[in-house]
């Protein structure tokens, strides 16, 4: 592997960061500043803002479960990737191993489906 | 000092600094952001060590998924904007344990390797490339790989049972 | 001619000024494509809705987006009172930076010479380029979720949460889909995936062999469909633009953003669309390689011509994005999540297994019985999955009448549940006009009047049939 192949990526990254910072600064310089109290309220279509709950409010647990599912499947994908790249040299053995792996994860997936973990109402 | 050495040292410093910020900041969500920086620096170190696949997997899984899960978990309980004043646990025991573990590990590694130098592999088919890694994983390490699937299964089932006791495979759902 | 196609060994040797030129070119490509993309989208949608669209600033309104962007710079930069100062500031930057960085591994063309230097028309390529794309798109979740959270306002928070759950859900599908591409190409580098689509595999049907084009859109049609759908979901475009569903959430996570911060979010959204189009082009439409009738000409895949084919394909895919937006209504959130988790993921997993089984049977020359065993095993796994698949259990929802009856005594009084939609005033007028016209024939009158009254809900018996 050549690290030098990453230099342009870092270059583009740096350029993008510079662009973002310049636009933030430019907006600061060019834009007017006539803030008043009403402008700084959270936007809620014109009604009085709802009072913020103490501690920042709570988020439905479904989001957490979705993120958990995401991690599981992401790990699955990450293991499938080297298998797919090395597919031709692995042949049958690799395929059976991966099938077993997918079946195991699918069991968890079906269980979650049955428990209603995938429902969004 | 080669370029790789300098990069490793710099990235290590970034990782340690960001790690310190994670534990010292009183802003819960910002702590998650510092964790992103820390894990990103770690990925950079993998990259310098030519473990290319591992580096990007680190970004994909840890930065892209685990910290998102952490953020969700923080928001699940409470994610106040601004500093949380009630995070002032006594710092001394933590500092002692952390510093002790860090220094102990550092001493262990320094003692184990001393002046051993490792030359980084060159060329596109190094041990860190996806093809070689795939070959190793599905030939020599098949058993741990399969055990891992059971771990994933357990993790997901546990998450469902802990987080959603209200929905069930049993008939309790009908009561709602 | 094949030496024109870059391999991985061709990257990482550029001189410094070539690198700078290429990086700048990629950056300018991203920004210009955004400016043109917004114009293109507005003009196209205008055309589809039979109205002109923006046509004032510059020829054909081409400068409209630039004018909008400049205007935004002179707008007041507001930050709501309850927001988190630092995070509010960096969230749009994260979005824009992630979107722009993804352009680094897109192959624009073969090896060309820039001022005498021979270099591939691609900023850079690494052995794990597609993984880099996936990782960068995973990082862009942060811009959305942090932007929504840091605003300290309800709409952005809801929009940010929705957006992040949506993006991570469709990222899984995307990852599963590209696995099959890696399987066929045997590589994750974008330039090699393009090169792998140059060969024409021979298909033998009943003794007759014919060369099929190696584009993965044909060879991996299911992958293409799954990937395209999840790319639309990942870029938060209609019909999956739930994070900023205007009618529900104002503008989703960017409600509180103004001035150039808002512009950065918009920029990143359109660059995401451009990148998604370019990735679809690269993975499935053979990237910069010339399409069939042109590819007969030898020079089609040499020099700067491929840039034209590449741009043509990207614009074509972008047109489909716009077309989708003009055609389809927005999905509801539960429908959207159901599509992702209950349809696309099982499909993608099953397709990976089927393709893997087929390829294994091809690659390792198995005997007849072994092939049968393998096919049987795959079929058994799929059959088991189908058999044990959770049937869609409709929860027995009590009817409204039962729900009313189940309410504890002392609840609020309810209006009658047999409410029916009254006929529109237009229909009433039409009937009235008919009635006056037919006033001579008095026997026709009640026949017209009766059903109308029943529908208006004045008839106590008429409503009960629905209860």
Prediction ipTM score: 0.85
Which tens digits make up the pLDDT trace of C66-80? 888 888 888 888 888
Q: Evaluate whether C256 touches A42 at the Cβ level (below 8 Å).
A: yes
Cα C466 from Cα B134, distance rounded (Å): 62
Q: How confident is the model at residue C287 (pLDDT cuts 50, 70, 90)?
A: confident
Residue B79 — very low, low, confident or very high, per pLDDT cuts 50/70/90? Answer: low
Report CB contact under 8 Å: C97, A17. Answer: yes
Helix B67-77 and helix B28-48: axis angle, to 10°? 170
C149 φψ region: left (φ > 0), alpha (ψ -120 to 50), beta (else)? alpha
Percentage of chain B modeled with pLDDT above 90:
14
Compute the count of residue pairs across chains A and C with CB atoms less than 8 Å apart: 223
87-116 in chain B: CB under 8 A from chain A: none
Instruction: State the nearest Cα–Cα gap between C436 and chain A, in angstroms.
Output: 47
* Residue to substitute from A60, A84, A88, interface C, most C β-carbons within 10 A: A84
Distance CA C33, CA C102 (A): 14
| Share of chain A residues as helix, strand and coil, in percent rounded to the nearest 5 | 70, 0, 30
Chain B residues with CB-CB distance to A76 below 8 A:
152
Q: How far apart are CA C161 and CA A117, in angstroms?
A: 17
Name the pLDDT band for C458 (thresholds 50, 70, 90). very low
CB C43 within 8 A of CB C57: no
Q: What mean pLDDT comes out for the span A9-22? A: 90
d(CA C375, CA C357): 7
Cα(C289)–Cα(C278) distance, integer angstroms: 13
Cis omega (within 30 of 0) for bond into C281: no
Nearest to C310, CA basis, from C100, C106, C105 = C106
Judge whether B80 is closer than 8 Å to chain A, CB to CB.
Answer: yes
Please, are residues C309 and C291 in contact by the beta-carbon 8 Å criterion? yes
B160 touches chain A (CB under 8 A): yes
Identify the pLDDT of residue C452.
Answer: 45
Judge whether C92 and C261 are in contact, CB under 8 Å.
Answer: yes
pLDDT for B12: 92
Residues 3-22 of B with CB under 8 A from A: 3-4
**CB atoms A104 and B150 under 8 Å:** yes
Q: Do A73 and C345 touch (CB under 8 A)?
A: yes
Q: Residue B42 — very low, low, confident or very high, per pLDDT cuts 50/70/90?
A: very high
Give the residue from C59, C52, C57, C79 showing the smallest Cα distance to C69: C57
Whole-angstrom Cα distance, residue B52 to residue B41? 14
- Residue C109: enclosing H or E segment and its boundaries? strand C107-114
- The pair phi, psi for residue A112, each rounded to 5°, is -60, -40
Closest chain A CA to residue B53: A82
**Domain limits, chain B:** 3-124
| pLDDT band of B119, cuts 50, 70, 90 | confident
pTM reported for the whole predicted model? 0.80
What local confidence, expressed as pLDDT, does residue B172 receive?
43
Domain boundaries along the sequence of chain A: 3-115
Is domain B3-124 in CATH 3.40.470.10, yes or no?
A: no
Q: How many CA atoms lie within 13 A of B11 on its CB side?
A: 17
Q: How confident is the model at residue B174 (pLDDT cuts 50, 70, 90)?
A: very low
Rounded CA-CA distance A54/C179 in Å is: 45
Out of A56-65, A111-120, C24-33, pick the least confident: A56-65
Is the domain spanning A3-115 CATH 3.40.50.700? The answer is no
Pairing of strands C117-122, C202-205: unpaired
- Could you check whether the bond before residue C239 is cis, i.e. omega within 30 degrees of 0? yes
* B68·A1 Cβ contact <8 A: no
CA distance B1 to chain A (A): 16
**φ and ψ at residue C412, rounded to 5 degrees:** -65, 145
- pLDDT tens, residue by residue, C198-240: 877 666 666 666 667 778 877 788 889 999 999 988 888 778 7
Angle between helices C129-150 and B67-77 (to 10 degrees): 20
Question: Residues with Cβ < 8 Å from C456, sequence gap 6 or more?
Answer: C420, C422, C423
Chain B CB contacts of A91 under 8 Å are none
- Predicted confidence at residue C215, as pLDDT, reads 82
For residues A73 and A62, give the distance between their C-alpha atoms in angstroms, rounded to a whole number.
Answer: 16
Closest CA to C419 of C359, C386, C467, C453: C467
Judging contacts by C-beta atoms under 8 Å, the chain C residues touching residue B75 are 149, 161
Distance from C-alpha of C450 to C-alpha of C430, rounded to nearest angstrom: 15
A107-116, B135-144, C344-353: range with lowest mean pLDDT: A107-116
In this prediction, residue B14 has a pLDDT band, given cuts at 50, 70 and 90, of very high
Q: In whole angstroms, what is the distance from residue B103 CA to residue B119 CA?
A: 26
Q: What is the pLDDT of residues B93-106, one digit of tens each?
A: 888 888 899 899 99
Mean pLDDT in residue range A18-47: 80
Residues whose CB is less than 8 angstroms from the CB of residue C45 and which lie 6 or more positions away in sequence, other chains included: C53, C322, C325, C326
Chains within contact range of chain B (3+ C-beta pairs < 8 Å): A, C
CA–CA separation, A72 and A76 (whole Å): 6
Chains in contact with C, where contact means 3 or more Cβ–Cβ distances below 8 Å, are A, B
DSSP C33-61: HHHHHHHHHHHHHHHHTTS--S-SSSGGG
Residues of A in contact with B72 (CB under 8 A): 59, 63-64, 67
CA distance A105 to chain C (A): 11
Task: For C359-412, write each residue's pLDDT tens digit.
Answer: 877 766 667 777 777 778 777 877 777 776 665 555 667 777 777 777 777 777
The answer to whether the beta carbons of residues A76 and A109 sit under 8 Å apart is: no
Interface test with A, best of B47, B148, B160 (most A CBs within 10 A): B160
Neighbours of C69 (CB within 10 A): 18
**Per-residue pLDDT tens digits for A58-90:** 667 777 888 888 888 888 898 898 888 888 787
Which residue of C11, C101, C259 is in closest CB contact with A12?
Answer: C101
Do B130 and A82 lie within an 8 Å CB cutoff?
A: yes
Question: In terms of pLDDT, which residue wins out, B78 or C43?
Answer: C43
Mean pLDDT on B35-54: 89
* Vertex A74: Cα angle to C363 and B52 (nearest 5): 70
Query: Band of the pLDDT at A55, cuts 50, 70, 90?
Result: low
């Amino acid at each position: 592997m050549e690290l030098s192949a990453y230099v342009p990526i870092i270059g583009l990254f740096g350029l993008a960061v510079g662009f973002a910072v310049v636009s933030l600064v430019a907006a600061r310089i060019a834009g007017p500043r006539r803030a008043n109290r009403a402008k700084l309220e959270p936007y809620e279509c014109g009604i009085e803002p709802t009072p913020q709950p103490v501690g920042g409010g709570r988020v439905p647990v479904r989001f957490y479960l979705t993120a958990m599912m995401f991690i599981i499947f992401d790990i699955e994908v990450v293991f499938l990737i080297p298998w797919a790249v090395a597919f031709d040299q692995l042949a049958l053995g690799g395929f059976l191993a991966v099938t077993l792996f997918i079946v195991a994860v699918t069991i968890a997936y079906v269980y979650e489906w049955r428990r209603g973990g995938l429902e969004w109402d | 000092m080669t370029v790789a050495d300098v990069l490793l040292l710099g990235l290590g410093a970034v990782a340690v600094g960001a790690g310190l910020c994670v534990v010292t900041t009183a802003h819960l969500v910002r702590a998650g952001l510092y964790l992103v920086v820390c894990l990103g620096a770690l990925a950079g170190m993998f990259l310098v060590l030519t473990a290319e696949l591992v580096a990007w997997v680190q970004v994909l899984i840890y930065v892209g998924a685990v910290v998102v899960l952490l953020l969700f978990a923080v928001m699940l309980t409470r994610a106040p904007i601004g500093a949380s004043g009630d995070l002032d646990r006594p710092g001394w025991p933590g500092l002692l344990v952390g510093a002790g573990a860090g220094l102990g590990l550092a001493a262990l590694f320094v003692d184990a390797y001393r002046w051993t130098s490792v030359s980084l592999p060159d060329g596109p088919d190094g041990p860190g490339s996806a093809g070689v890694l795939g070959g190793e994983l599905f030939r020599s390490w098949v058993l741990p790989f399969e055990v891992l699937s059971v771990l994933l299964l357990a993790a997901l089932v546990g998450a469902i049972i802990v987080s959603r006791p209200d929905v069930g495979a049993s008939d309790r759902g009908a009561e709602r | 001619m094949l030496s024109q196609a870059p391999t991985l060994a061709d990257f990482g040797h550029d001189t410094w000024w070539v690198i700078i030129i290429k990086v700048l070119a990629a950056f300018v490509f991203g920004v210009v494509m955004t400016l043109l993309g917004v114009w293109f989208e507005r003009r196209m949608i205008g055309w589809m809705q039979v109205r002109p669209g923006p046509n004032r600033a510059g020829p054909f309104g081409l400068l409209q987006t630039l004018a909008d962007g400049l205007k935004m710079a002179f707008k007041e930069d507001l930050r709501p009172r309850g927001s988190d100062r630092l995070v509010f500031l960096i969230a749009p930057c994260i979005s824009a930076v992630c979107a722009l960085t993804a352009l680094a591994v897109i192959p624009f063309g073969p090896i060309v010479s820039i001022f005498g230097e021979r270099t591939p028309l691609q900023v850079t390529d690494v052995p794990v380029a597609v993984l880099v794309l996936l990782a960068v798109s995973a990082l862009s979740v942060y811009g959305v979720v942090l932007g929504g959270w840091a605003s300290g306002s309800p709409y952005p928070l809801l929009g940010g949460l929705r957006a992040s759950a949506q993006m991570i859900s469709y990222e899984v599908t995307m990852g599963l889909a590209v696995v099959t591409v890696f399987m066929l190409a045997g590589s994750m580098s974008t330039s090699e995936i393009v090169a792998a689509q140059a060969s024409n595999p021979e298909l033998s049907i009943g003794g007759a062999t014919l060369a099929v084009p190696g584009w993965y859109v044909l060879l991996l049609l299911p992958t293409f469909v799954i990937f395209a759908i999840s790319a639309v979901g990942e870029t938060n475009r209609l019909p999956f633009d739930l994070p900023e569903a205007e009618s529900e959430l104002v503008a989703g996570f960017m409600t509180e953003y103004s001035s150039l911060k808002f512009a950065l979010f918009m920029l990143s959204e359109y660059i995401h669309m451009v990148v998604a189009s370019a990735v679809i082009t690269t993975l499935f439409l053979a990237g910069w390689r010339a399409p069939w009738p042109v590819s007969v000409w030898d020079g089609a895949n040499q020099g700067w011509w491929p840039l034209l084919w590449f741009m043509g394909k990207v614009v074509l895919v972008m047109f489909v994005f716009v077309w989708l937006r003009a055609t389809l209504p927005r999905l509801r959130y539960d429908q959207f999540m159901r599509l992702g988790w209950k349809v696309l993921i099982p499909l993608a997993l099953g397709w990976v297994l089927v393709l893997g089984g087929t390829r294994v049977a091809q690659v390792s020359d198995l005997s007849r019985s072994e092939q049968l065993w393998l096919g049987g095993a795959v079929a058994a796994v799929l059959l088991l999955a189908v058999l044990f698949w959770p049937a869609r259990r409709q929860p027995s929802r009590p009817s409204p009448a039962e729900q009313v009856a189940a309410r504890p005594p002392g609840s609020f009084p309810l209006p009658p549940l047999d409410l029916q939609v009254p006929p529109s005033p237009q229909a009433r007028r039409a009937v009235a006009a008919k009635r006056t016209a037919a006033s001579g024939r008095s026997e026709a009158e009640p026949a017209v009047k009766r059903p109308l009254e029943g529908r208006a809900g004045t008839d106590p018996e008429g409503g009960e049939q629905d209860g």
